[in-house]
Amino acid sequence: MEHHQNSGNLLRQGVNVFIILAVLTALEFAVAVTSASMLLLVTMAIIKAGLVLWNYMHVSKLGGEDEGHEDDRESYAFKTETNRLGLWLFLLSDAFLFAGLLVTRFNLMGLTRLPLNQTLGLVVTSVLLISSFFMNRAEVQMSQGNKKGFTTNIVITIALGVVFLLGVLGVEWRLAAAEGVIASANAASAAFYMMTGMHAFHVLTGVIFLLIVLRNTGKGLYNEEKHWPVEAATVYWHFIDLVWIFFYPALYLIGRLM
């Protein structure tokens, strides 16, 4: 329960998780370049996903945050727990969509990959990971009643989200097309555009949610006790990151070059 801990601990935790994520991402890149072991890459992606699920998305909260409000079904705490369950079920449903896209990718491409720009792939991945770090900071600040810190961090998150969108849709799609990865040319390229496009659509909706939350924070709608919309937008944002943790190796690292 973060509001029982002091802010120094929480900052340290957030930084630690981020460092592990960054190191694993760098390792992934190195593994892909040197041995291209699919087993290692998948393992690392799963470890990263576990870290995000546990430390950023607080999946353990699903088990019930605190006891004692079961009798009062009109209370904010009870309703928040109900809402939380609903959000996670939605994410579960959404996860099936992304799993279907991964199935599509492996069915159409097998163990090959497209000639994509590796540097750019690493950059946009890093941008999204860094945005998750700031998103985590923003939520911590909100739960401690620090509206100013919250605003700073959420603005950085939104900015990084926009940079990611521009990086993928504006730069990556253009560079890929120049390399011959053209949506109408072959099924593999089509899968690439479908996966990145669907993910970008989710990033876009995430940015919109964050903007709404930011605006309503300014209106004074949330406080350290009651900020379910902030938590929802946060968990959704990390979920988008979680999806990319699997999409990045699937698109950029796994398989031999086509």
Partner 1 sequence: MNRLTQPGWVRGLLSLVFGLALGSQGLAFLQFLATKTYNPFDVGSWVLGSVVAALTFFAGAGGKKVFHLALMRGLGWQFLGTLAGGFLAEFLRALLPDMEPFGKFGFSEPAWVLGAIVGAVSFLAGAGVLTDWFKWAKGESTPEHHHDPDGWEKYFGVSLDHKVIGVQYTFTSLLLLSYGGLFALLFRTELAKSGMQFLDLNVYNTLMGLHGMVMIVSILLGIAGVMNYLVPLLLGAPDMAFPRINAFSFWIAVPAAVLLLSSMALGGFDTGWTGYPPLALRAPVGIQMFYVGVWVAGWSSILGALNLIVSVLRLRAKGMTAFKMPIFVWAAVATSIISLTATQMIGLAFQLVIFQRVVGMPFFDAAKGGNPILFQHLFWFYSHPVVYVFILPGLGIISELLPVFLRKPLFGYKWIAMSSLAIALVGFLVWAHHMFASGMNEYLRVPFMYSTLLVAVPTGVKFFSWVATIWQAKIPRDMPTPLLFVFAGIFVFLLGGLSGPPNATVSTDLHLTDTYFIVGHFHDTMFGGYVFPFFAALYYWFPKVFAKRLDEKLGKIHFWLMTPSFIFLTLGMMKIGLLGMRRRIADYDPALGFDIWHLLLTISAYLVAASVLIFFINVYKTLKNGEPVTGNVWNSRSPEWQVPSPMPAYNYDRPFEVVGEPYDYGVPGSTYVKM
Dihedral sign (CA 162, 167, 169, 171): positive
Question: Based on CB atoms, which residue is closest to partner 1, 4 or 219?
Answer: 219
Least gap, CB of 211 to partner 1 (angstroms): 10
Question: Based on CB atoms, which residue is closest to partner 1, 46 or 221?
Answer: 221
Q: Tell me if 228 contacts partner 1 by CB under 8 A.
A: no
Beta-ladder partners of 112: 256
- Residue from 126, 194, 204, 224 that binds partner 1 (CB under 8 A)? 194
Other C-beta atoms closer than 10 Å to the C-beta of 61 total: 17
Footprint of partner 1 on residues 119-178 (CB under 8 A)? none
Q: Tell me if 73 contacts partner 1 by CB under 8 A.
A: yes
- Residue from 8, 66, 184, 257 that binds partner 1 (CB under 8 A)? 184
Amino acid at 120: L
Non-local CB neighbours of 120 within 8 Å, separated by 6+ positions: 167, 171, 172, 175
Q: Tell me if 187 contacts partner 1 by CB under 8 A.
A: yes
CA distance linking residue 154 with residue 225, whole number of Å:
18
Strand, coil or helix: 185: coil
Residue whose C-alpha is closest to residue 14's, from 210, 204, 114, 157: 157
The site for partner 1, by CB under 8 A, has a size of 33
Q: Tell me if 221 contacts partner 1 by CB under 8 A.
A: yes
Other C-beta atoms closer than 10 Å to the C-beta of 37 total: 13
Q: Tell me if 108 contacts partner 1 by CB under 8 A.
A: yes
Note the residues at the interface with partner 1 (CB under 8 A): 73, 81-82, 85-86, 89-90, 92-94, 96-97, 100-101, 103-104, 107-108, 183-188, 190-191, 193-194, 212, 215-216, 219, 221
